[in-house]
Amino acid sequence: MVDVLVRPEARKLIDVSSQRQLAARLRAALRVLDRSRSEVTVLLTCDEEMRGLNHDYRKLDRATDVLSFHQQELNGESDPAGDGVLLGDIVISVETALRRSGKGRLPGELARLAVHGLCHLFGHDHHRPGEAEIMRKLERKLLRASRK
């Protein structure tokens, strides 16, 4: 199950159809991972809230495009502990996504960021080159599958 929550500040930047499309793409990504019984919550917000979250959790005084908050430590997408559970929350700044993509490409950018966040929920990271390549391959696989 995928829940998409939209803060009032972000609601004026993204239409309901794009919200539904985002949820559908994440559900498809979870199916590819054989985790369709698992749950993810996506919060679409503004730069101000994202900056606050970054300050509180990462000691960064700036907004970023996406943050992930996992409910449990997973060791990759095949970790059996990730089956049928609440995986965690993905927070996306719609303002940052819009600046990077432009209005016409916003739904695709939101899907890319959500999949990126989903990979983090499964324990992937991109701070070391080897890990980054594994994560990028998984992201591409999930994005391709979610377009169908």
Spacing of C-alpha 83 from chain mean position: 18
Per the structure block, which two tokens stand in for 65? 């495009």
pLDDT category of residue 135 using cuts at 50, 70 and 90 = confident
CA dist 47 and 61 (Å) reads: 11
CATH (domain of 107):
3.40.390.30
Task: Provide the domain limits for residue 140.
Answer: 2-146
> How many structural domains does the chain have?
1
pLDDT in tens, 45-92: 999 998 999 899 888 888 888 999 988 877 667 666 667 778 899 999
pTM, two decimal places: 0.88
The yes-or-no verdict on residue 103 having pLDDT over 90 is no
Give the torsion through C-alpha atoms of 139, 6, 58, 79, to 10 deg: -40
Report residue 26's pLDDT band, with 50, 70 and 90 as the boundaries.
very high
- What is the C-alpha to C-alpha distance for residues 99 and 71, in angstroms, rounded to an integer? 30
pLDDT value at position 81?
63
Q: By C-alpha distance, which of 59, 56, 62, 57 is closest to 120?
A: 57
The kind and range of the H/E element at 92 are strand 86-93
pLDDT for 148: 61
Q: Distances from the Cα of 45 to the Cαs of 50, 66, 72, in angstroms? A: 7, 10, 23
pLDDT at 28: 92
